[in-house]
Chains A and B, each alone.
Chain A
Amino acid sequence: MAKGRELKGRIKSVENTRKITRTMEMVATSKMKRAQDRVVAARPYATALADVISSLYSPDLAERFPLLRQPAERRHVALIVLTSNRGLAGAFNANLIKEARSRLVELERGGAQVDVHVVGKKGLGYFKYVGRALASQRTDVGDRPSAATAAEIVDGLMADYAAGRLDGVYVTYSKFNSALSTPPTTQQVLPVTPPEAKAGAGTSDAGLQRNYLLYPDAETILSELLPSYVRNAIYRALVENEAGFQSAQRTAMKNATDNAGDILNVLRRTYNRARQAQITQEIAEIVGGASALQG
């Protein structure tokens, strides 16, 4: 029963693989839940910051802030590409890299020199493979990105932008709309697009157009808050990217577990059929032998 033993081995192997993928699915599910909570927890800060900036912002102030400078042409820009450190997440990283690549082409066609900053081993691997020099790289952003990490990533770029060495900063990440929708997105970080004061005069901005007492003054407050706003944009990108990764991994591992189940069904059926056939054959031989003796 050589075929039967071989089938048994394969069944065992697929079962073991399924155990792994099922565990990974469960781990990713729980990590995704936590990453999702962090995406939600980051919202109040962004909202509060955007509220205050939009209520202080006026177009005549804009010229005085280097971060709001609108460059006439984009000669030298930076693109931050966020990817994950680990794989087994379906097309997650491939999609991010595809998005980054099309942005690169677009920016370079516009005549800009593009510095690429990569976060995550997977992005690093790709850019190494195509042989593109990277301006910076880091792989130490774990499951829980911190605001401090975001600051490290973007502070240098902000200084370069303020000094006029860069004309734009973009970040490519997977936007976390929901567990099922995490489209790769490229967002312009610099120059800062001032958050719009919501025009509709809804309930949420009742306090916006008041005459605030401002200490020290609008200009100083803005010059402090704009960098925070930029850092926060990066922080949110990191957090959303992580949530996107976990949900991609969960989906990939769920599919793998389901597929393993399908394969097992086929293998078990084949195995049982082979066993049945062998038993039938043995009975036929015994019956045949017995009747030969009687005859």
Chain B
Amino acid sequence: MLTVSVISPEAVLFEGQTESLVAPAFDGQVGILTGHAPMVTLLGTGELRLGAEGSGQRFRVQGGFLQVVDDTVRVVTEHASTA
């Protein structure tokens, strides 16, 4: 399982466990599963999906970055809203 937190300047929007996530990186979608190598990538604008296709939470994110370390994912974004 991945421990995910979705953080905007105003608040922490989500904190919890999920199997996988798909995030809009600056150059296209990036999928994260457990055991991912440590990574920092810039985010673009788009939809962040937590969990499997068709289930789980979705957020609109814009800008910021995504950091993966030891199955802990931090999505730190300038604007985020639940979609």
Contact = CB atoms under 8 A, between A and B. Distances in A.
A207 B69 contact: yes
B3 interface: no
Contacts of B41: 213-215, 221
Interface stretch (A20-28, A40-48, A77-85, A104-112): A40-48
Contact of B26 (A146, A147, A215): A215
Contacts of B12: 41, 44-45
Contacts of A49: 76
A42 B7 CA distance: 9
B9 A45 contact: yes
Contact of B38 (A42, A146, A212): A212
Contact of A38 (B7, B10, B67, B76): B10
B38 A232 contact: no
A45 B38 contact: no
Contacts of A210: 38, 69
A150 B10 CA distance: 11
A235 interface: yes
Contact of A56 (B38, B39, B40, B70): B40
A38 B8 CA distance: 12
Tell me which of A45, A51, A221, A225 has the highest count of chain B C-beta atoms within 10 A of its own C-beta. A45
For the residues of A in contact with B, the DSSP-based class is helix
Interface in A208-237: 210-216, 220-221, 224-225, 228, 231-232, 235
Interface residues of B, number: 27
B34 interface: no
Contact of B40 (A42, A44, A150, A221): A221
Contact of B42 (A42, A48, A224, A232): A224
A216 B42 contact: yes
Contact of B65 (A38, A147, A221): A221
A52 interface: yes
Contacts of A150: 9
B70 A207 contact: yes
A42 B26 CA distance: 24
Interface in B58-82: 63-65, 67, 69-70, 72, 74, 76, 78-79
Interface in B28-74: 37-42, 63-65, 67, 69-70, 72, 74
Contacts of B5: 44
Given A150-B9, A211-B38, A215-B25, 5 more contacts: A213-B41, A215-B41, A220-B42, A221-B40, A232-B9
Interface of A: 38, 41-42, 44-45, 48-49, 51-52, 56, 146-147, 150, 207, 210-216, 220-221, 224-225, 228, 231-232, 235
27 contacts: A41-B10, A44-B7, A45-B7, A45-B8, A45-B76, A51-B67, A52-B40, A52-B67, A56-B40, A147-B8, A147-B10, A147-B78, A207-B69, A207-B70, A207-B72, A210-B69, A212-B39, A213-B40, A214-B40, A214-B41, A215-B39, A215-B40, A216-B42, A220-B42, A228-B78, A231-B9, A232-B9
